């Protein structure tokens, strides 16, 4: 019987291949991922990804699109207000 010793929800810092894989997938440097592990004290992917997003190192596509949409909406509202005056 085979046992899966590695949980899919965590990133093991001692495995360079895994660090490089997730760094490449997220579009960041391996050093940034290692620093996130040290700063958070966590090896959980969810925690690390959230930390990197809060630091502005990692951008989620959906979050970026929502932010862009709200900025466009604010600009449109401002233009409408200026036209009414």
70: which 2 tokens?
């709200």
pLDDT (0 to 100) of residue 1: 37
pLDDT (0 to 100) of residue 5: 47
pLDDT (0 to 100) of residue 33: 92
pLDDT in tens, 23-68: 888 888 999 999 999 999 988 989 999 999 898 888 767 667 777 8
Return phi, psi of residue 44, to 5°.
Answer: -80, 130
Interior CA angle at 58 toward 57 and 59, to 5°? 125
Cα dihedral 24, 7, 15, 52 sign: positive
- Evaluate if pTM is beyond 0.85: no
* Contact assessment for residue 37 and residue 48, using Cβ atoms and an 8 Å cutoff: yes
Cα dihedral 66, 72, 76, 78 sign: positive
pLDDT (0 to 100) of residue 36: 93
pLDDT at 9 over 90: no
């Amino acid at each position: 019987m085979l046992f899966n010793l590695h949980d899919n929800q965590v990133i093991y810092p001692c495995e360079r291949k895994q660090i490089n894989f997730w760094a490449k997938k997220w579009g960041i440097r391996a050093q940034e991922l290692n620093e996130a592990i040290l700063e958070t004290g966590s090896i959980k992917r969810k925690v690390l990804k959230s930390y990197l997003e809060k630091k502005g190192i990692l951008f989620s596509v959906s979050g970026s699109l929502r932010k862009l949409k709200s900025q466009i909406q604010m600009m449109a509202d401002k233009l409408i207000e200026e036209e009414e005056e």
